[in-house]
Amino acid sequence: MAQLSVSSDAVPVSSLLTAEKYERTTALLRGGRIRRVVYYPLTGGEDGRDVEDWDFGPWHQPTMGVELFTDDGACFSAVWGSSFDHYGLELFPQPMTAHLRLSGEPYGSTPVEVTDHPHWSSLVGRKLTCVDIAWSQDRERGIRVPDAIRLCSREKAVWIAAGRPAEWPPGEVYHLGTDDVMVVFTAEFAAKVGIPVVR
C-alpha cells in the first residue's frame, strides 16, 4: 500500500501514485457496473454541520470527492490530490475513509448519497464501456496532470474533475487543477469547463 502523507488540507496525498497505477485503477472499473455513488461535500453553518450546496444543474460540486461502489463489491475514491506536482483528479481503489480527515465532523465533509439522483441514475447499473483519464499537459514544466476521469456506458457519460467555478456564485468561467472536485453531466458543459477531450 502506498505511503500517505497528510497535507494541511483534508486529503492526504499519495506521493507514490504514478500514471501506470492510475491506468491500472481505471482498468479495474472498466466493464463493471456502478451500484452506489456517494459525495463528500463540505459542511458549514453555525454548528459546522450544514451541508454546503452541491447541486448546480448540469454539474455538481462534492468538493472533497466521490465514492463509487461497484456490483462486485469494490470501492473507488475520486479525490483531488497533487501526486503529479499540481492539483489533479486522482482515483484510488479504496474507500474515502483512506483519504479524508474530519469526515462527519463539524466543518469537515459529510457523506451524501446521490445514487438515485436523476443525473446518476442513467449510469448506475449499466456496464461501464469506457473509463478514461483526461490528461492535460503543463508545457512549462513538462508534466502531465490528470484533470478528470470520464465514466461511460453506451447511454451516458459523466466526468469527475478537479475544478471549480472562478467566482461565486458560479458564472461562466471555471478553473481546472484546483483543490475541489466537480462532477459534470454533459459533453457541452465539460467543454465549457475545459476538460480535455479523451480520444
Distance CA 162, CA 181 (A): 5
The residue among 65, 69, 61 whose CA lies nearest residue 93 is: 69
Give me the pLDDT at residue 85, please: 82
Report pLDDT digits (tens) over 27-60.
999 999 999 999 999 999 999 889 999 999 999 9
Where the chain has pLDDT below 70, the residues are 1-15
Peptide bond into 41 cis (omega under 30): no
Phi, psi (deg, nearest 5) at residue 190: -60, -40
Q: What is the pTM of this model?
A: 0.90
Give me the pLDDT at residue 169, please: 87
